[in-house]
């Protein structure tokens, strides 16, 4: 149903165009905007005065020390502080909340471990989240009403239409709509909730090199991917695209090693996740008589950190484990390459802490495959990717609802 409209619509289009230009620079002037937008200065001025009344634009005093001659232009500035968005990441390890203004600049952040009694009831986790949210608002001296949108990322299967968590094996307490309800009541706004890897992908895409297609692979205990095609996240028919952990490469191969606490692990993540990495590390340490490493790897909760540190220290047993785990992982990257031919593959999650050594090893294995390997990068945001992606999602929502004209054609 393409729908067209009258002159009022044209005005909205032009105002939105002016605003978009304005948002890309620190400050500028009406004549400059007119040149960039292809509009007359008057049309720009009209739009600017509308935007000024809406609180989105501030008029600044003219700058006197212009190099060229002529009357100095009145400067205008996008008022990024006119509104704010909230982004949160809730995982078994951390509750992270960030507050950003309309330009995406983070003005306050909070990072706290989740309450230990999480399994008692989801209300505890939800309260910890809203507490953190109130804390960042206080920190930035922003009223609750100044939050225009909020998004949350959690590890689990999410229905993105409703924001309900269908299944979250690592934190059963957040199943259902506890989190969006709690944060919704706290902010008075509708809250978006999505899978953490998907939001992390949005975050990496935002701060990455502007790739049109990209795959972020979260490499940890579990393995999951976010698929970006044509500059946008691809969710899949059941919001389950990028479920790399369940890739089954091993038709005729023997059953892969499995970790200990992994009833729900898929074939690929059981074979390549941090559980398998620790098993490989123990084996290599035993073979090489590295008793120090072997002892340290006995503690399950720190085994991945131990092994990653051993890799960066150059311990031979750890490097041997890395060699094997990257050989396996390269098979998954190869499948991604064959199907999607992405512009870049970004590796994130706990394994990414191994650093460039990881990519070097991966690249060596990929070169043995028959297809040209995709460019590899390490996650730029690390732990922050989920919050950044949540902020980006909220900013997108705000831009589409409050900073844009209605779409021309449906």
- Residues near DNA, by CB under 7 A: 4-8, 10-11, 14, 29-32, 38-43, 45-47, 62, 64-74
Measure CA 195 to chain center: 10
* Rounded distance between C-alpha atoms, residue 308 and residue 296, angstroms: 12
Contact flag: residue 342 with a second copy (CB under 8 A): yes
Contact flag: residue 9 with a second copy (CB under 8 A): yes
Site track for a second copy across 28-67, x = CB under 8 A: --------xxxx---x------------------------
Residues 6+ apart with CB under 8 A from 239: 157, 158, 159, 160, 195
Range in contact with a second copy (rule: CB under 8 A) among 90-98, 157-165, 181-189, 247-255: 247-255
Residue 116 binding partner per list DNA, a second copy, none, with a CB distance cut-off of 5 to 8 Å that depends on partner kind:
none
- Total length of the chain: 410
Choice from 305, 319, 335, 398 touching a second copy (CB under 8 A) = 335
Q: Which is nearer to DNA, 12 or 283 (CB)?
A: 12
* Rounded distance between C-alpha atoms, residue 49 and residue 288, angstroms: 73
Q: Which is nearer to DNA, 46 or 286 (CB)?
A: 46
Tell me the angle at which helices 7-23 and 41-53 cross, rounded to the nearest 10 degrees.
Answer: 80
Contact flag: residue 263 with a second copy (CB under 8 A): no
> For residue 289, is it left (φ>0), alpha (ψ between -120 and 50) or beta?
left
Give min distance, CB of 350 to a second copy, in A: 21
Q: Which is nearer to DNA, 31 or 209 (CB)?
A: 31
SS3 404: coil
Please give the biggest Cα pair distance in the chain.
79
Contact flag: residue 1 with a second copy (CB under 8 A): yes
Give min distance, CB of 78 to DNA, in A: 16
Q: Which is nearer to a second copy, 213 or 304 (CB)?
A: 213
Contact flag: residue 267 with a second copy (CB under 8 A): yes
Site track for a second copy across 140-159, x = CB under 8 A: --------------------
> What is the DSSP code (8-state) at residue 409?
B
* Rounded distance between C-alpha atoms, residue 13 and residue 405, angstroms: 6
Q: Which of residues 224-243 bind a second copy (CB under 8 A)?
A: 225, 227, 229-230, 232, 234-243
Range in contact with a second copy (rule: CB under 8 A) among 58-66, 279-287, 312-320, 326-334: 326-334
* Rounded distance between C-alpha atoms, residue 281 and residue 147, angstroms: 47
Choice from 247, 279, 317, 325 touching a second copy (CB under 8 A) = 247
* Rounded distance between C-alpha atoms, residue 236 and residue 197, angstroms: 14
User: CA angle, corner 204, sides to 203 and 207, nearest 5?
Assistant: 90
Give min distance, CB of 36 to DNA, in A: 12
Give min distance, CB of 146 to a second copy, in A: 27
- DSSP calls for 107-124: EEEEEEPPPGGGGG-HHH
Contact by Cβ (8 Å): 277, 295? no
Give min distance, CB of 246 to a second copy, in A: 5
Residue 314 binding partner per list a second copy, DNA, none, with a CB distance cut-off of 5 to 8 Å that depends on partner kind:
none
Contact flag: residue 26 with a second copy (CB under 8 A): no
Range in contact with a second copy (rule: CB under 8 A) among 139-147, 202-210, 223-231, 302-310: 223-231
* Rounded distance between C-alpha atoms, residue 222 and residue 172, angstroms: 16
Q: Using CA of residue 281, residue 285, residue 290, residue 294, what is the dihedral sign?
A: positive
CB neighbours of residue 327 within 10 Å: 15
List phi, psi (to 5°) of 375: -60, 140
Residues engaged in binding a second copy (CB under 8 A): 1-7, 9-10, 13-14, 16-18, 20-21, 36-39, 43, 213, 225, 227, 229-230, 232, 234-244, 246-254, 266-267, 328, 331, 334-336, 338-343, 369-372, 374, 405, 408-409
């Amino acid at each position: 149903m393409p729908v067209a409209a009258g002159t009022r619509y044209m005005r909205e289009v032009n105002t939105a165009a002016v605003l978009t230009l304005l948002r890309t620079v620190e400050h500028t002037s009406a004549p400059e905007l007119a040149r960039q937008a292809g509009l007359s200065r008057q049309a720009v001025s009209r739009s600017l005065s509308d935007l000024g009344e809406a609180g989105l634009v501030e008029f600044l005093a003219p700058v006197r020390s212009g190099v060229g001659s002529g009357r100095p232009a009145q400067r205008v500035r996008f008022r990024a502080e006119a509104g704010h968005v909230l982004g949160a990441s809730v995982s078994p390890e951390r509750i992270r909340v960030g507050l950003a203004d309309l330009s995406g600049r983070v003005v306050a952040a909070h990072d706290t471990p989740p309450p230990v009694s999480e399994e008692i009831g989801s209300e505890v986790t939800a309260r910890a989240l809203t507490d953190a949210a109130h804390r960042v608002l206080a920190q930035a001296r922003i009223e609750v009403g100044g939050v225009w949108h909020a998004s949350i990322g959690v590890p689990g299967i999410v229905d993105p239409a409703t924001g309900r968590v269908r299944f979250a094996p690592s934190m059963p307490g957040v199943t259902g709509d506890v989190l969006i309800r709690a944060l919704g009541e706290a902010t008075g706004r509708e809250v978006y909730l999505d899978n953490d890897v998907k939001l992390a992908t949005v975050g990496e895409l935002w701060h990455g090199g502007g790739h049109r297609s990209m795959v972020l692979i979260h490499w940890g205990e579990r393995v999951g991917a976010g698929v970006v095609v044509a500059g946008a996240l691809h969710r899949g028919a059941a919001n389950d695209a990028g479920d790399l952990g369940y890739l089954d490469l091993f038709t005729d191969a023997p059953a892969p090693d499995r970790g200990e606490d992994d009833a729900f692990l898929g074939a690929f993540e059981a074979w390549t996740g941090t559980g398998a990495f620790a098993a490989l590390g123990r084996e290599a340490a035993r073979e090489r008589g590295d008793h120090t490493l072997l002892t340290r790897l006995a503690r399950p909760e720190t085994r991945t950190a131990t092994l990653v540190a051993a890799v960066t220290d150059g311990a031979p047993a750890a490097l041997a484990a890395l060699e094997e785990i990257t050989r396996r992982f390269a098979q998954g990257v190869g499948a991604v390459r064959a199907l999607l031919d992405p512009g870049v593959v970004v590796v994130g999650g706990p394994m990414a802490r191994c650093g460039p050594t990881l990519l070097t090893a991966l690249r060596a294995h990929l070169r043995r495959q028959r297809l040209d390997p995709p460019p590899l990068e390490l996650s730029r945001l690390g732990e922050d990717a989920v919050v950044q992606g949540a902020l980006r999602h909220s900013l997108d929502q705000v831009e589409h609802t409050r900073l844009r004209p209605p779409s021309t054609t449906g």
